[in-house]
Amino acid sequence: MPRGDLFPDIAPFETGLLPLSGGHVMYWEQVGNPRGQPALFLHGGPGAGAGAVHRRFFDPGHWRVIIFDQRGAGRSRPLGELRDNTTPHLVADIEALRRSLGIDRWLLFGGSWGSTLALAYAQAHPERVTGCVLRGVFLGRRSEVEWFLAGLKRVFPDAWAAFVEHLPPEEREDILGAYLRRLCNPDPLVHLPAARAWSQYEGSCSTLLPSPDTVASFAQDRTALGLARIEAHYFAHDLFLPRDGLLAHMERIAHIPAEVVQGRYDMVCPAETAFDLVAAWPRARLTVVPDAGHSALEPGVRTALVSAVERFRRRV
């Protein structure tokens, strides 16, 4: 039945910790129908972690939803750890989780960096993917990273100024390098203020209208440290993606159906990227939300995402 908003709050029916390579331990949970159609939620960032609200995009009577925190993020441990933390590691982690839970194939649901990781996993394991629901598409191209670090000044000059002013003037020619040095400093008096500045910048630019609650959630220590440190690490290494990019390998998933939801005024991941993706994906359907930015929780975006998931339910 079509819905206009999120489903009610729900608790997991199972949680666990999965040991990974390099000393990492993954937190995971399952919600909804234990015998339902499997769906995997992929959080953003990299490094942002998942939350209880992310369970609510899925009808719990139909879907068996698997949610996990990626290496170094959220409830996974160690928090903010960069060793053995690359996109190929995350793709391998998803496969390890799938096998451990005895799942054959699943729907992928991811926004922002979650859309990047969904594409990387689907291209590596297309036989395991029934479809994709993607939001605020990010392809990890250098131009997209440069937009985040500098281009956003055109639209959010105040937020960008606060972001850059955390650094001394002599280091502002290399924003990413200067932040990464601070974020990797072992002293919390150095890395936590840098993490908050980075994370508040992203939160300030993520909604169409100012949202103090969004900015406050980004500024929480666990979210800020995981997001800022891991995001800067991935940005500094071109997101650990193939040299020729994700669009060069779309033939691997051309047969997989997809729903792409994009806020028209998404400034973190501008709409051009979603249009580029859909142009390269014959079975992708694009929904542009006319009055939304980047956040999955903006009213029009969350409505479109729930509707997209429901359309996949009717495909079965």
Tell me which residues are annotated as active site: 112, 266, 294
Measured CA to CA, the distance from residue 309 to residue 130 in angstroms comes to 12
Strand-pair category, 14-19 with 25-32: antiparallel
Centroid of chain to Cα 154: 24
Residue type, 23: G
End-to-end CA distance of the chain: 14
DSSP H or E segment with residue 50? none
Inter-CA distances, 233 with 12, 192, 195, 226, Å: 31, 16, 12, 11
Measured CA to CA, the distance from residue 215 to residue 271 in angstroms comes to 22
Structure tokens at 88: 């190929």
As to burial, measured by CB atoms within 10 angstroms (0-12 exposed, 13-18 middle, 19+ buried), residue 190 is middle
Phi, psi of 42 (to 5 degrees): -115, 115
